[in-house]
Amino acid sequence: MTNTTKKLLQVTDLQIGIPHPRRETLVIVNKASFDVGYGEMVGIVGESGSGKTMVCRSMIGTLERRGAKVLAGQVLFEDQDLAHASETTWKKLRGKAIGYVPQSALAGPNPVLTIGAQLSEALKKSDTKGTIAEQSKALLELVKIRRIDTVMKQYPNQLSGGMRQRVMIACALASNPKLLIADEPTTGLDVTVQAQIMVLLKEIRNEFGTAIILISHDLALIDDVCDRVVVMHAGATVEVGSVSEMTTPRHPYTVALNQSRIDIAVPGSELVTILGNAPSVGQWPTGCRFAGRCTIVQSDCTSGDHPPLFGDRGAHQSACLHADLLKGR
Ligand SMILES: Nc1ncnc2c1ncn2[C@@H]1O[C@H](COP(=O)(O)OP(=O)(O)OP(=O)(O)O)[C@@H](O)[C@H]1O
Ligand SMILES: [Mg+2]
């Protein structure tokens, strides 16, 4: 059944490439489609290079900084198509309706600015009420930082990794965004701190109704906190579904991701790794881009276009031509 409720974000057939003056444009994302509902927490999972960050960059207008651009498709945020927004539009939008905690944010806070100064910078762009000092304190309270007066005067290198990540989340929340994108926010943090950051994100969603996109390599982490999951492989969305739907995956790549999870491996058993490597960008094969690594590959998988997502939008969707062969796996 099609879910007709109005979505906050709708990404449709997004294609992103890196134009080159002499060579053919390198296509790095092709066939990315998914929705994010109001107040929904959506996880994007996929191995390194699958295009997770580039897809999110298209939502905050920073593709150009990486030499990339949207070649086709739509990124509808409420009623505005961000895929083709001009730089003037981005100047108004950036850092406002969508907050972004960049990948490697642990190294991200400006090392020469105190936490107070970083928050003032972020708050300058927002039009929320109150003095900058009041708002900065409120933001640090929101991300559960204690000893606020001391922390405001400190530099990033004086804080632990978990605290630095909380500060980055506070900065991203400065404009009270409707959507917060957290790109691998817990990479490099120990397991306990990881869990605390996840709890914090969930609390932010529950308390303020902020929709959240959480990018991670770790399906277990996403399962714990998200409502829905988007699986990416070689620049394409290969499966979309609710966390419970994902317990019976309809794409062999998701099956493989599930089997390679440390948390559900039987103690003493050998951890299953995913066969082969994802094809490199620019070297995608004809047909399904997962075919070369797939355990249920059929003769029709290696011809034609990479399959689209089958199934109704909002329901459990998979880009596998032979998902029925996965039943019972
Ligand atoms: N400027 C660039 N020139 C060439 N290739 C690029 C450029 N920027 C990104 N890419 C390629 O685009 C692909 C998608 O990159 P992206 O950063 O979105 O991956 P990712 O899924 O976020 O990976 P990770 O999990 O490692 O962060 C990668 O193969 C990357 O090498
Ligand atoms: Mg990334």
Q: Residue of the nearest CA to atom 18 in ligand 1?
A: 51
pLDDT tens for 277-312 read 888 887 899 999 999 999 999 999 999 999 999 999
> What is the residue whose two structure tokens read 């949207």?
70
**What pLDDT is attached to residue 269?**
60
CB 17 within 8 A of CB 26: yes
Q: Which two tokens stand for residue 186?
A: 């817990």
Q: Is the pLDDT of residue 86 over 70?
A: yes
Atom of ligand 1 minimally distant from the CA of 68:
1
Measured from the alpha carbon of residue 233, the closest ligand is: 1
**What pLDDT is attached to residue 321?**
97
Q: Residue of the nearest CA to atom 8 in ligand 1?
A: 66
pLDDT tens for 152-204 read 999 999 999 899 999 999 999 998 999 999 999 988 888 899 999 999 999 99
pLDDT tens for 36-63 read 999 999 999 999 999 999 999 999 999 9
Q: Residue of the nearest CA to atom 13 in ligand 1?
A: 49
Q: Residue of the nearest CA to atom 7 in ligand 1?
A: 66
161 Cα: distance to centroid of ligand 1 (angstroms) = 24
Atom of ligand 1 minimally distant from the CA of 28:
12
Atom of ligand 1 minimally distant from the CA of 66:
1
Strand partners, 317: 240
Q: Residue of the nearest CA to atom 12 in ligand 1?
A: 28
Q: Does the beta carbon of 279 lie inside 6 Å of ligand 1? A: no
CA atoms within 13 A on the CB side of 176: 8
What's the mean pLDDT when you consider all of the chain?
Answer: 90
Q: Does the beta carbon of 209 lie inside 6 Å of ligand 1? A: no
Dihedral of alpha carbons 259, 284, 33, 56, sign: positive
187 Cα: distance to centroid of ligand 2 (angstroms) = 11
Sketch out the chain's domains with CATH numbers: 9-97+177-326 (3.40.50.300), 106-176 (no CATH)
CA angle 249, 17, 277 (to 5 degrees): 45
119 Cα: distance to centroid of ligand 1 (angstroms) = 29
28 Cα: distance to centroid of ligand 1 (angstroms) = 7
Atom of ligand 1 minimally distant from the CA of 232:
21
Atom of ligand 1 minimally distant from the CA of 57:
18
Q: In this predicted model, which residue has the larger pLDDT, 121 or 230?
A: 230
Q: Could you give the C-alpha distances from 6 to 30, 37, 75, 237, in angstroms and in order?
A: 25, 7, 14, 21
DSSP 312: -
Rounded CA separation 35/20 (Å): 31
Q: Residue of the nearest CA to atom 17 in ligand 1?
A: 53
At 131, is the pLDDT very low, low, confident or very high (cuts 50, 70, 90)? confident
Measured from the alpha carbon of residue 57, the closest ligand is: 1
Helix segments in 5-114, DSSP class H: 52-60, 87-93
Regarding beta strands 317-318 and 9-18, do their DSSP bridges make them parallel or antiparallel, or are they unpaired? unpaired
